[in-house]
Structure 1
Amino acid sequence: MDADVVVIGGGPGGLSAAETAAAGGLKTVLVESSEVGGTCLNRGCVPAKTWISAAHLLKNTRLAAEMGLIKASSESEPGGMALDSAGFAKLQSHMREVVGVLQKGAASNLKKAGVQVVRGKAAFLSKKEVGVNDGQEVVRFKRAVIATGSRPVELFPKLPGFYDTDDVFGVPDFPRSVAVVGAGAAGVEMATFFNGAGCRVTVIEVMDDILPFADAEIRAVLKREFKKSGVNLMLGAKVAGASSQSGRCALELEGGGLIAADATIMAAGRKPNSVGLGLDKAGVGSDVRGYVNVDGSMETSSGGIYAVGDVAGKARLASTAHREGVVAARNILGTPDRMDYRVVPNIVFSDPEIACVGPTEDDLARTGEEIKVGRRHVRALARAQAGAEITGLFKVMVGKDGSILAVHIASPSATEIIHGAAVAMAAGMKADALAEVVFGHPTYSEGIILAAADAVGGRPRHA
């Protein structure tokens, strides 16, 4: 089979690369060993947000009961409603339906674009050939895009009741207690769901803090909320051993201590899917961790071969993978383009949600740059008081010249609000100009302009 472009992997980066190349008139073949959509759609972002949306519904029901708007069942656990096995089964059915709809949409988009999909596992045979399913089929190409994604790091061999962030969505029964190993974005989201669903949750993190990309004040908000909601957050703790017996998981900690739970979720990072790709046969270089080396155009050390998404080891987000795929395809089409990671939002669907764009205050302090910091507490917003969700903080960091260096938020709807800040930063808007923009009232979004006004010494118009 001959192709102008072969794309290996059908996640966000592979899909955007294939569709962009095909739209440009190139004969494009996409090789995918499983369902299109990659980790995000099938085993990550989408299933996780479906779960967390359900937990948010439960939270709202509890809040309604606390306000006396509805009567909580006498059989409910203290504090209100909790998910039971029957409810979890319905949630799983809903999650599979959501994933199925999006899978069909992704496949339809490929078909409309004219991309030929080949099912199987691909590996390079040379700088111009890819073999599928151990060479049973050969694709001869002019250009290639590697978009094979990543997989969870294995801390120890899998045991009954132990899951990683890929296979946890297939958990057969709803656990009443959960241990989460890792407090990055995935671990925090797992803790948020299971805690919100009524489980006893312990989070074990080897580092001294959670969410390293978030500002310290923003992290502090979430840690307080975890504590208030009963999450046992163990920072600076390392798992030394694991066992499973009689349907229960046990984690032995270094220095002593044992954590027992119905289920354990390993969320201690991911590693690239680059082994077995035949990179050496294609002349493609990688680093010691297996991430494929790329330049700003997403091209590898082998001319004409590109890499995007997690396997390229840059931002490792579905959002950036999509953009990287477009950049790679544009360069293949002869339209020069380069990636710019300076304004990339990081979002976490915790409670409250966390969203950040730009460095932390501590990061900026280490550069020695003179900055001004503006803050607005969520409780000071009329929308927060009206909705009875008053926890959080808006924080804006401003440079000496008035440029917006970073915005970090802990708030309801933070994962939506942050994009207004990202657009302002990408457009080069100054903080004083942002503070003068009229936002709707009452909204959580006002927190951005009020924090910006605080940074530049302006007078807030309203809360």
Structure 2
Amino acid sequence: MDISAGWDLVVIGSGPAGEAAAMQAAKKDLRVAIVEDQKAMGGNCTHWGTIPSKALRHQVRQVIRTQRNPLLRGIINPRDVRWQDLIRRTREVIDSQVQVRTDFYIRNRVTIFAGRGRIANPHEVQVDDVEGRTHLLETKNILIATGSRPYHPADVDFDHPRVYDSDTILTMNHTPRHIIIYGAGVIGSEYACIFTGLGIRVDLVNSRDHLLDFLDTEISDALSYHLRDQGCTIRQGEEYKSVVADEDGVTLELHSGKKLRADALLWCNGRSGNTGNMGLEMVGLEPNNRGQLAVNERYQTEVENIYAVGDVVGWPSLASASYDQGRFCAAAIAGDEIKQVKDVPTGIYTIPGISSVGQTEQELTEAKIPYEVGQAFFRNLARAQITGERVGMLKILFHRETLAILGIHCFGYQAMEIVHVGQAIMRQPGEHNTLEYFIDTTFNYPTMAEAYRVAAINGINRIQR
């Protein structure tokens, strides 16, 4: 056994949370090691989650845009696009990301241990590498940033070649004509858009009564409409009873008595933290039934020198938030002020995309806050007309009396980029975070950001009549 002593921080997991923590700790002059059990750096985000799914979405959007362009229509048929070809291009993006991320560790002199990390005691992490060697890392602090994996109910056979989860769908070697997606959360909705964009018939089964019910209702309804318009069948308020797979396809039986038959099934119903078989019992830590660990405002577990960030602590389970959690946690370990992730924007990479920050109309109504709405419909914007991306809208929710911005909700082309303009203004102090900023500021024309001026004027007109 190789014993390596003198570490200030050992990070287990190299996803966004682990990477950010390692980089921040290194910049604070801490001696840092990172442990990763995959063949390359980047964690689940790079290899199975955010990067591949967004790369797939981009390619499908390109196909859709080509079909909509009068000059290019007919050059490509979405039904002729093979899933394997999309995955091949996605692998190129993943490889590029791995190289970028690996360079970060080299430049910041963070030592990488490739292998499975296991906590031996509060100050030791055992790493068993792929060559059969064992390393014992003696450290002052341990950070768990092992991410999450798709939740697997025991009565579904995920070993069957026609049953997939959001990880294994990237290994599918055929292009189905019809697919069932069970679970209409963020991941399920994103993949529903990807498959419908390829002309594949989709049954999207939602256990709730509304699609993505944490969103502003108007935005959620807009997504439902456009999914259906693209040929997706959404089945609300349904629970599965059984999954039966055979050589020709998969049958999903629902408690309502319905039976759905398709070429393949994609299971997108929840995720579990990757906290199994890593020695938590050796230090008295017990995750909840979804594999998640409880932490305080410093991202500290019940064991004083063991921390956790990212998907293993639950909400918000977003790569962007995980990155900040990692930075803030490492800074606190180094003695800096304690910071918490807040005002996290929602980014949902459906087609069209959705992004929001702040409160929804439902929340403001329940809190009895007097608000008004400013709207800009993309079909009226010159930039959207030029690009052909006319579907969508920007909503600004603001206080009727103070004009303070309370919420930004965007559905459509570049929604995930547009929202940050509103987010920046919402974070300004005092009178600087009001609707008047958008009215008094000159925006480039024609741009999508101009929607803020249009929405602000629309909103101010509502209260000045």
Superposition TM-score tier, normalisation by shorter sequence? over 0.9
Q: 1:60 aligns with which of 40, 65, 77?
A: 65
Which residue in 2 is equivalent to 1:196?
197
Q: Return the offset for 1:22.
A: 1.4
CA distance in 1, matches of 2:168, 2:404: 43
The offset of 1:277, in angstroms, is 2.6
* Residues 4-83 of structure 1 aligned to structure 2 (within 5 Å): 4-34=8-38, 35-64=40-69, 67=70, 69-70=71-72, 72=74, 81-83=77-79
TM-score, normalization: structure 2? 0.92
Shift of 1:288: 4.9
Q: Between the two proteins, what is the percent identity of the paired residues?
A: 30
Stretch moving more, 19-28 or 386-395 = 386-395
Kindly report which structure 2 residues correspond to 1:297-446, keeping only aligned pairs within 5 A, or say none: 297-341=298-342, 343-399=343-399, 400-428=401-429, 429-446=433-450
SS in 2 for 1:322: helix
Tell me: CA distance 1:24–1:71, structure 2 relative to 1, closer, same or farther (3 Å): closer
Counterpart contact for 1:298–1:338, Cα < 8 Å: no
In 2, are the aligned partners of 1:4 and 1:143 still within 8 Å (CA)? yes
The amino acid that maps onto 1:8 is I
Q: Deviation of residue 38 (structure 1)? A: 1.4
Check 1:323–1:372 CA distance in 2 against 1; reply closer, same or farther (3 A cut): same
- For 2:84, the aligned partner's letter is A
How far has the Cα of 1:413 moved from its partner? 0.8
Which amino acid is 1:378 matched to? F
Q: Letter of the 2:57 partner, please give it.
A: I
Verify the 8 A CA contact 2:324 2:341 in the aligned structure 1: no
| Structure 1 residue 171, shift from structure 2 partner | 0.8
SS at structure 1 position matched to 2:90: helix
SS in 1 for 2:385: helix
Structure 1 residues 230 and 286: CA distance shift in structure 2, 3 A: same
Per-residue Cα deviation, 1:353-401 (whole angstroms, up to 9, x for no partner): 1111122211222222222222222222222223332221211111353
1:150 partner amino acid: S
Aligned match of 1:106: 101
User: Which blocks of at least 5 consecutive residues in structure 1 are unaligned?
Assistant: 74-79
> Which sits farther off after the overlay, 313-322 or 359-368?
359-368
CA deviation digits over 1:228-279, x for unaligned, max 9?
Answer: 1111111111111111122311111112111111121111111111222322
Contact 1:344 1:422 survives alignment (8 Å): no
- Amino acid aligned to 2:106: K
2-structure distance, mates of 1:452, 1:39: 40
Tell me which moved more, 191-200 or 421-430. Answer: 421-430
* Contact 2:84–2:172 (8 Å) recurs in 1: no
Report what 1:76 is aligned to: none
Cα distance, 1:16 vs structure 2: 0.7
Q: Does 1:147 align with 2:152?
A: no
Question: SS state of the match for residue 20, structure 2?
Answer: helix
The answer to whether the Cα contact below 8 Å between 1:127 and 1:283 also exists between their aligned partners in 2 is: no
- CA distance in 2 between counterparts of 1:434 and 1:303 reads 47
Instruction: Give distance in 1, aligned partners of 2:166 and 2:77.
Output: 26
- What SS class does the counterpart of residue 46 from structure 1 fall into? helix
The runs of 4+ residues in structure 1 deviating greater than 6 Å are none
Q: How does 1:85-100 map to 2 (within 5 A)?
A: 87-100=82-95
SS of the aligned residue for 1:457 comes to helix
Aligned length: 449
450-459 or 205-214: bigger deviation? 450-459
Q: CA deviation at 1:39?
A: 1.6
Query: What is the alpha-carbon distance in structure 2 between the residues aligned to residue 431 and residue 276 of structure 1?
Result: 52
Deviates more, 1:17-26 or 1:288-297: 288-297
Moved more, 296-305 or 329-338: 296-305
Which whole-Å CA distance do the structure 2 matches of 1:39 and 1:192 have between them?
A: 22
Distance 1:401 1:145 in 2: 43
Aligned-residue offset at 1:21:
0.9
Query: Matched residues in 2 for 1:208 and 1:423: separation?
Result: 33
> More deviation in 151-160 or 318-327?
151-160
| Contact 2:64/2:78 (8 A) holds in 1 | no
* Counterpart residue type for residue 9 of structure 2: V
Q: Which residue of 2 aligns with 1:77?
A: none
Q: Which secondary structure does the structure 2 equivalent of 1:110 belong to?
A: helix
**C-alpha contact 1:184 1:212 (8 A) present in aligned 2:** no
| Residue identity opposite 2:398 in structure 1 | V
Aligned to 1:178: 179
The answer to whether the 8 Å contact 1:243/1:250 transfers is yes
Deviation at residue 455 of structure 1 after TM alignment: 2.8
The residue matched to 2:265 in structure 1 has which SS? strand
Task: Please tell me whether residue 214 in structure 1 is matched to residue 209 in structure 2.
Answer: no
